[in-house]
Amino acid sequence: AQSVTQLGSHVSVSEGALVLLRCNYSSSVPPYLFWYVQYPNQGLQLLLKYTTGATLVKGINGFEAEFKKSETSFHLTKPSAHMSDAAEYFCAVRDTYNNNDMRFGAGTRLTVKP
């Protein structure tokens, strides 16, 4: 089965600084990859996804991620952090043949300092 590892359970950046959240996956078949964001006391909201095609995908709120097959990575970046970006972020993987087996990472809590 596929799996996801998010490096760093907590990341802290200053407002205006680069945001980099790391995600590595394991999958025996071509994966679909996702980043979700969760604000306090809310459900998960999709930030962006990779299915096929262009390996650099852009999402909402200025976030983007690059699928690197050789590194089995799907890191999330944003050039300039905003206070409203403070939340928990989850990377997820699903294989292209099994519609019902989505695996989530443990999450990374992003703190943005003024």
Among 90, 93, 110, 112, binds other proteins (CB under 8 A): 90
User: Which of 7, 102 has the CB closer to other proteins?
Assistant: 102
Q: Is 5 in the site for other proteins (CB under 8 A)?
A: no
Q: Is 7 in the site for other proteins (CB under 8 A)?
A: no
Q: Is 106 in the site for other proteins (CB under 8 A)?
A: yes
Give the integer Cα–Cα distance in Å for 99 and 2.
13
101 class by beta-carbon count within 10 Å (0-12 exposed, 13-18 middle, 19+ buried): exposed
Among 28, 42, 70, 84, binds other proteins (CB under 8 A): 42
Give the integer Cα–Cα distance in Å for 1 and 114.
41
Q: In the range 44-73, which residues lie near other proteins by CB under 8 A?
A: 44-46, 49, 51
